[in-house]
A and B are shown apart, each in its own frame.
Chain A
Amino acid sequence: MSNFICNDPVALNLWYAISALEEVHQGDVGQSVLLEQPIAYTRNEAGNVIAWAHEGDPNCDPNPTLPVKERFGYFWTSLGTPEGDVFPIPEYGEADRRNIHAASFGVNVSAPRMVENFLDMGHFPYVHTDILGAEPHTEVKDYFVEVSEERDEILATNCKFWQPMAAAASDGGADVEYIYRVPHPYCSVLYKSSPLDEARMDVIAIFVQPFNQEQVRVHMMLSLLDEANEDRNIRLFQQTIFGQDKPILENQHPKRLPLDPRAETPIRADKSAIAYRRWLSDKGITYGVIPSAA
């Protein structure tokens, strides 16, 4: 293994989504950065995505190549040796779902701040006014948080929030139920009531690729029940939401997420964030965070 700038073994051994598969083409060498390491990728003649680390020349000998998985419309790679496969999202395989790559955006923030913002419902009425929330419906009702031992992921359930325009397919305000999963230190999967089928849920996932400790690229994947809207409108709806979060994320200080429980004062609505910070601490993650002072 080369000497990487990132020396956090936990971060090095994770899988990371790097690019939407629809943007990886045979004959084109794409370039990106993962944990401060320049990487390049292409689709080879056999049709497989290959990725490799380089030191400035992306057209260097691609060997040795990095491990690659194609999952959820993206290719994933790792600088280290990941344990097992990318976490599962079983809904992705359901035949009647629309699986859409909404966009990959650069954000000047750390990966854990990005995930924590995704978990937060308290900001909906203020940041996503008249879409995901509206005053005076500002209360975050009590919800459950647990760390699922068998899958090593955080699960927040029974989250309910009144939303004026929960999805592109909505035709008015509704009490929307949310379930959040954090199956990866830098990824989160959100389930929310489908406007079309009350027994099922739409899936919105963010896969965060850290360029470095304070700059990321976030990939947004949607797996929805929506028969009416064009992909384009669904994408644009999600981008509108994301564009509203962006200045909030980029103005957080410090940019790295402090894990010391005394560093920032949580309120009851932040239960999932408290669990997330503790979970990161327990994993011994140091990348993108300010670790607890032991």
Chain B
Amino acid sequence: MIKLYDYELSGNCYKLRLLMSFLGLEHEAEPIDFYPGNQHKSPEFRQINPLGQLPVIDDEGLVLRDAQAILVYLASKYDTSENWYPSSDPAILGQVSQWLAFADGITTTASAARLHDAMFYTQIDVDVARAGANKLFRILDEHLYFAELDGQDWICPGDHPTIADIACFPYIMLSEEGGVSRMDYPAIRRWTDRFKRIPGFVVMSGVFPAGPAVEKEAERAA
């Protein structure tokens, strides 16, 4: 079974929990005391990931680090529909990769601000991190707005979400914990609501499910 070195409050670990839940893929979690224990920086954990970062998976001996890389791997290996990582279409593949890299930028800005506020990563310049997050959110908000005008629900064109949506979702959803409001990004807010209604969606601490009232309305409409 896939082993995930996991920390509940990590948005990067949550990305993998989300994909595995969407795919109905079972996994075994190995909890790591990221805070306050700093276990991911311990010599033992650096044997598993020399970068001292979460998440890491071990899939029958294949040890992989980096949330985006693991999303690519799990989707390629276990999603036979190729919906989550449409690797046969070069144009879509290029766009998915582009937004995976963008998600890394969200981690270094929005997630950094959250670590500063919640876990006292005082070396982080929180104003720079917040300004960086707002810049990225503005770009994604405009992208999603124009996508909606084209009848598209997701970050990359197509009628199914991709791992690009998964990679961008967690630290956008947790941004308020770092003092970055989503008030000014209505297209992002509509997209996060759609994301929460993908069958198999799971929450993490700090992320709440979509309201049941709207689900019932959708059932009535169906």
Q: Which residues of A contact B (CB under 8 A)?
A: 20, 23, 31, 101, 103-108, 217, 232-233, 235-236, 239-244, 246-247, 250-251
Q: Is B31 an interface residue (CB 8 A)?
A: yes
Task: Flag if A107 contacts B118 (CB, 8 Å).
Answer: yes
Task: Flag if B8 contacts A239 (CB, 8 Å).
Answer: yes
> A103 to B37, alpha carbons, bound, how many Å?
9
> A69 to B33, alpha carbons, bound, how many Å?
28
Task: Flag if B31 contacts A236 (CB, 8 Å).
Answer: yes
Q: Which of B48-56, B144-152, B204-212 contacts A (4 or more CB under 8 A)?
A: B204-212
Interface size band for B:
20 to 34
Given contacts A239-B8, A239-B9, A247-B177, 15 further A-B contacts (CB under 8 A): A23-B36, A103-B36, A105-B118, A105-B119, A107-B118, A108-B117, A235-B33, A235-B37, A236-B33, A239-B35, A242-B205, A243-B206, A244-B206, A246-B118, A246-B177
Task: Flag if B208 contacts A247 (CB, 8 Å).
Answer: yes
Q: Which of B36, B117, B119, B122 has the most CB of A within 10 A?
A: B36
Question: B37: which A residues are within 8 A, CB to CB?
Answer: 232, 235
Task: Flag if A243 contacts B31 (CB, 8 Å).
Answer: no
Question: B176: which A residues are within 8 A, CB to CB?
Answer: 247, 250-251
Task: Flag if B9 contacts A243 (CB, 8 Å).
Answer: yes
Task: Flag if A243 contacts B8 (CB, 8 Å).
Answer: yes
Main secondary structure of the interface of B (DSSP, over half): loop
> A36 to B146, alpha carbons, bound, how many Å?
45
Q: Which residue of A lies closest to B177 (CB)?
A: A246
Task: Flag if A244 contacts B36 (CB, 8 Å).
Answer: no
B113 to chain A minimum Cβ distance, whole angstroms, is 11
Question: B31: which A residues are within 8 A, CB to CB?
Answer: 232-233, 236
> A103 to B120, alpha carbons, bound, how many Å?
11
Question: B205: which A residues are within 8 A, CB to CB?
Answer: 239-244, 246
Q: Which residue of B lies closest to A251 (CB)?
A: B176
Task: Flag if A104 contacts B36 (CB, 8 Å).
Answer: yes
> Known contacts A106-B118, A108-B117, A247-B177; is A236 also within 8 Å of B8 by CB?
yes
B40 to chain A minimum Cβ distance, whole angstroms, is 12
Pull 24 A–B residue pairs with CB atoms less than 8 Å apart, ordered by A. Answer: A23-B36, A103-B35, A104-B36, A106-B117, A106-B118, A106-B119, A232-B31, A232-B33, A232-B37, A232-B39, A235-B37, A239-B8, A239-B9, A239-B205, A240-B205, A241-B205, A243-B9, A243-B204, A243-B205, A243-B206, A244-B205, A246-B177, A247-B206, A250-B177
A167 to chain B minimum Cβ distance, whole angstroms, is 16
Q: Which residue of A lies closest to B209 (CB)?
A: A129
> A39 to B50, alpha carbons, bound, how many Å?
35
Question: A242: which B residues are within 8 A, CB to CB?
Answer: 205
> A253 to B8, alpha carbons, bound, how many Å?
27
Question: A20: which B residues are within 8 A, CB to CB?
Answer: 36
Question: B122: which A residues are within 8 A, CB to CB?
Answer: 31
> A232 to B120, alpha carbons, bound, how many Å?
20
